[in-house]
Amino acid sequence: MKNFYLYILSIFTVFFIFLISYLNTYKESFNPEKQQFILLGDSVFKNDSYVSDGKSIDYLLIERTYGKTICLAKDDATIINVYNQIEKIPDNLNTNNIIIFLSIGGNDILSKIENGQTIDEKLINTMYLAYKKLVESIKMKYPDAKIVLFDIYYPNNLKYKQFHKYIQEWNKKIYDYTREKNYELFKISSILTKPEDFTFDIEPSSIGSRKVVNAILSIY
């Protein structure tokens, strides 16, 4: 019996050490006094309509950054819609401390397909030029802010696998652009990869949301 209690005690001790280590890492990765997150884009961030209350990416980030996250992203948003979101960024922020996360482009591709348009290199280039113009507008307005660009994930569903080739073309342009302009890249496509990461076929699930938030906070 004595050995059993010692075994239980050792397990608790290991768990406690891991917990303290995690909390220390988390505190180091986000400083609420010096950091502010701004979320721009579509339902990748604003996915509260597709998951249970308190399980969306924006909610989890707001909670875990002690309210230092502002989500201006909107469900169904396209590239052109983000300009309205930019205008809603509060003027009183210290731009030296803000990190702007941008996830956009997926709805632009999807809407073109749903409208019966042929997705070819010319159309991808047109959307990409609009995307670059948007990013340059953000950089011009907030030159001191850190800008993090998200690629597009590949929905793990047969219905959307036919679109993977277009997403791949788009992502390649984003990768090249981040290298060219020295922007930071967040590869959400490497995080949301399993069926349980998605809900409603194409939206981040509660599991996917937690994965994305954990990844963001571990980096930024």
Q: Is residue 182 part of a domain?
A: yes
The confidence score (pLDDT) of residue 79 equals: 98
Q: Is residue 8 part of a domain?
A: no
How far is the C-alpha of 82 from the C-alpha of 46, rounded, in Å? Answer: 13
Look up the pTM and report it: 0.85
Number of domains the chain is built from: 1
Domain that holds residue 70: 34-219
Q: Is residue 5 part of a domain?
A: no
How far is the C-alpha of 149 from the C-alpha of 171, rounded, in Å? Answer: 11
pLDDT in tens, the chain (220 residues): 555 454 455 555 444 444 444 444 444 478 888 899 999 999 999 999 999 999 999 999 999 999 999 999 999 999 999 999 999 999 999 889 999 999 999 999 988 877 877 788 899 999 999 999 999 999 999 999 999 999 999 998 888 888 899 999 999 999 999 999 999 999 999 999 999 999 999 999 999 999 999 999 999 9
The confidence score (pLDDT) of residue 116 equals: 76
With vertex at residue 42, the alpha carbon angle to CA 164 and CA 26, rounded to the nearest 5 degrees, is: 95
What are the CB-based long-range contacts (under 8 Å, 24+) for 31-35?
32/65, 32/66, 32/67, 32/68, 34/97, 35/65, 35/68, 35/97, 35/98, 35/99, 35/220
Match 């884009």 to its residue by tokens: 41
Q: Is residue 22 part of a domain?
A: no
Q: Is residue 209 part of a domain?
A: yes
Integer-rounded Cα radius of gyration of the chain: 20
The confidence score (pLDDT) of residue 19 equals: 43
Q: Is residue 208 part of a domain?
A: yes
The confidence score (pLDDT) of residue 18 equals: 44
Q: Is residue 163 part of a domain?
A: yes
> Cβ of 44: how many Cβ atoms within 10 Å?
29
CATH number, domain containing residue 193: 3.40.50.1110
Q: Is residue 213 part of a domain?
A: yes
Region of 117 (left: φ > 0; alpha: ψ -120 to 50; beta: rest) is beta
The confidence score (pLDDT) of residue 12 equals: 52
The confidence score (pLDDT) of residue 27 equals: 44
